[in-house]
Structure 1
Amino acid sequence: MKEKIKNEKTKLLSRTIITLSIIFFFICVADFFFSSKKMLLYPTLTALIFNLILLFNINKPVIEKLSFADMIILIVYFSFLCHYFSLDLFFVPVFCLLYLYTFFLFRDIQRIILFSLIVISITLLLFFFREKNNMLRSLGDSSVYIGYLRATATFAIGLLFYYIADFWLKNKSLAKESTHISKEKTDSVKLADIFESISRRDNSFMPLFLTVNPAFMNKVRERCPKINDTELEVCALIKLGLTTKEIAIATNSTYKAIESIKYRLRKKLDLESGINLMLFFNEL
């Protein structure tokens, strides 16, 4: 299960790196050909190169340190981009993405450092937001170029949100699966203990049985308030799949005595003779 979660984390990381690398490449191309000052070229090129380094080391032990360094570069890069690319609507989703990726991909001190950087970046952006200046436009870049950057950013934000949502849902599903498997293993161990206690014939199986089936006794008593403890014990053994002969051995009784108890149970529970008691108790 841990391996599956690790694979999902690697998948998220690789998809994100590939997407960012493609986006950064197109921003570099657009900035080189259409920007008057080429202001985004060098920072974007730096982010692109580091993402490519990350991509080529995706399955190596050094990936964790590289991912941490890459996230620092991305926080600084997006802080720069948001400020000079006119904050407006991109401010919230960009930093939500940075927060989510930091939360899911990092732990302990790395997460604290990255969260602190994000908070500092947001604080600085809020401080400078009052200027409301679009540096790109003031440098004479065309509205087509600025529109291209906005469209590219919108596409990237949507895709990266999809990746993190998909990762979260799959992780949630794997966590439920892991809990279910763990519960099945625990129940299996408890059942083994129950059958071991039955084989010892020391009357200690009932408390163990009730740990696996805590509501069983109450359900039977609701259906039949007059049932006694011996009959309840037989009900539990029937539910576990023991035959009349096996129940007689487990309870130090005779075959005829258990048959008599079964007959009384049918009467008290108002069951027809053709109804299988084990199926009845399992469905109760």
Structure 2
Amino acid sequence: MVLESISGFYCKLIEVGTEKYTQKMEVEHIKLWNKSFLSLSLLFFAISVYDFIYISSLISYCFFLLSILFFYTIFTDLKFNALAQTFTYLLLSFIFFYISSHIGLGSGIYFYYIPLILSLPVFFKISRNKKAIVLICFFLFFMMFLDIKTNSVKHPVNDMIFFESLLGSIGLVFWLVCFIIRKQAISIKYYKKRVGIWKREAEIDIDKLKEVIDMAVQNSSHFFPKFKELYPYFCERLIEIQPNVVASEQEFCAYIKLGFTTKEIAKFTNSSIRSIEGKKYRIRRKYNINEKVDIYVWAANL
């Protein structure tokens, strides 16, 4: 019972935030982020416990607070917010500097600067977040410079803290490498699937596509069955994402997939424009399509 409860809690934790997305790759990326931040939180928590038991210094309190911070990010969108990410990097670099300045360079706390620098291109898109990366790099090197300057007075070397710092930084680098590999694996898997779909779409018989479009224009009862023959994967994805989708909603999505405008769909189905707009709104709600996402782009990428 206990193991089942823990397993159930873990599954719910990993699923946090996935309900906002419809694309399978996005959902898998969210799950990966949640798993990664949970493991990062546990790593920091383990360091804080180790330090509290064997060393009992201010490091334990710092790492304990960091573990809570990273656990909290699972329940929020902070992990995708550039401003929050920048603040987290600055906070981490300041914490490492603060600890190191109090217990000396012999503690090996400076090892933690390595995973901080290496992780920058992973958490920030270089083309979009150049200013944030420059700011963080400047702050990191400034902290490192201050670290060396403020440690001109020799502190007693603590082998236990040095060992902890070394293992902790290695653990963070290992976490980073695992995260990159798994993220790339998800992207490759998704793009292979997309290439397969694009290939099938490229091989679609133009005459059959014209036939399906003519059936849609004439509001033929044979339109949707023929559409499903032409785009079987599209209907499969609709059901996969939302199992309780009904046939009429699938047929409406078929019109969207073929690129018909609201006016055209209203004309072909003998409906009012307001009625079609209402159907679009219900589809958006049912599939959790963000307001900023064009519904035609969503259908094309499904």
TM-score, normalised to structure 2, is 0.49
C-alpha spacing 1:158/1:99, structure 2 compared with 1 (3 Å): same
CA distance in 1 between partners of 2:178 and 2:161 (Å): 26
Superposed CA RMSD in Å reads 3.6
TM-superposition CA deviations, 1:66-113 (whole Å, max 9, x none): 766544321111123344554479577422211233432345887844
| Deviation by residue 1:197-247 (Cα, 9 ceiling, x = unmatched) | 899xxxxxxxxxxxxxxxxxxxxxxxxxxxxxxxxxxxxxxxxxxxxxxxx
Q: Take 1:111 and 1:149, find their aligned partners in 2: how far apart are those partners? A: 35
1:20 aligns with 2:32: no
Q: Is the Cα–Cα contact under 8 Å of residues 99 and 115 in structure 1 kept in the other structure?
A: no
Matched, 1:119 2:160: no
Partners of 1:115 and 1:88 in 2: how far apart?
29
Matched residue, 1:189:
201
Partner of 1:159: 171
The verdict on how the C-alpha distance between 1:150 and 1:92 changes in structure 2, with shifts beyond 3 A counting, is closer
| Residue 5 in structure 1 maps to residue 29 in structure 2 | yes
> Could you tell me which residue of structure 2 aligns to residue 94 of structure 1?
112
Is the 1:27–1:44 contact (alpha carbons within 8 Å) kept by the matching residues of 2? yes
CA contact (8 A) 1:98 1:118 kept: no
| Equivalent residue number for residue 148 of structure 2 | 129
> Which one is further off, 61-70 or 121-130?
61-70
Shift of 1:148: 0.3
Equivalent-residue separation in structure 1 for 2:154 and 2:90 (angstroms): 23
Q: How far 1:165 moved relative to its partner? A: 0.5
What SS does structure 2 have at the residue aligned with 1:136? coil
CA spacing shift, 1:73–1:197, aligned 2, 3 Å: closer
1-side partners of 2:183 and 2:116: how far apart? Answer: 19
The share of aligned pairs that are identical, in percent, is 8
- Distance (whole Å) between structure 2 residues aligned to residue 77 and residue 128 of structure 1: 11
- Decide whether the 8 Å contact of 2:107 with 2:165 is kept in 1: no
The 1:70–1:28 alpha-carbon spacing in structure 2 relative to 1, beyond 3 Å, is farther
CA 1:188 to 1:72, structure 2 compared with 1: closer, same or farther past 3 Å? Answer: same
- For 1:127 and 1:21, the matched residues in 2 are separated by 27
TM-score (structure 1 length as normaliser): 0.52
Is the 8 Å Cα contact of residues 24 and 48 (structure 1) preserved in structure 2?
A: yes
- Correspondences of 1:39-78 after superposition (within 5 Å): 40-41=57-58, 44-56=60-72, 58-61=74-77, 69-78=87-96
Distance in 1 between residues matched to 2:92 and 2:151, nearest whole Å: 23
In the alignment, structure 2 segments of 5+ residues that lack a partner are: 1-24, 212-302
Residues in 1 aligned to 2:76 and 2:148: alpha-carbon distance in whole angstroms = 41
1:61 shift after superposition: 4.2
| Deviation at residue 196 of structure 1 after TM alignment | 3.5
Which residue identity lines up with residue 152 of structure 1 in the other structure?
E
Q: Could you tell me which residue of structure 2 aligns to residue 202 of structure 1? A: none
What is the CA-CA distance between 1:184 and the residue it aligns to?
Answer: 0.9
Distance 2:118 2:169 in 1: 12
Distance, in Å, in 2 between the alignment partners of 1:14 and 1:73 is: 19
Using a 3 Å threshold, how does the CA distance of structure 1 residues 69 and 132 change in structure 2: closer, same or farther? closer
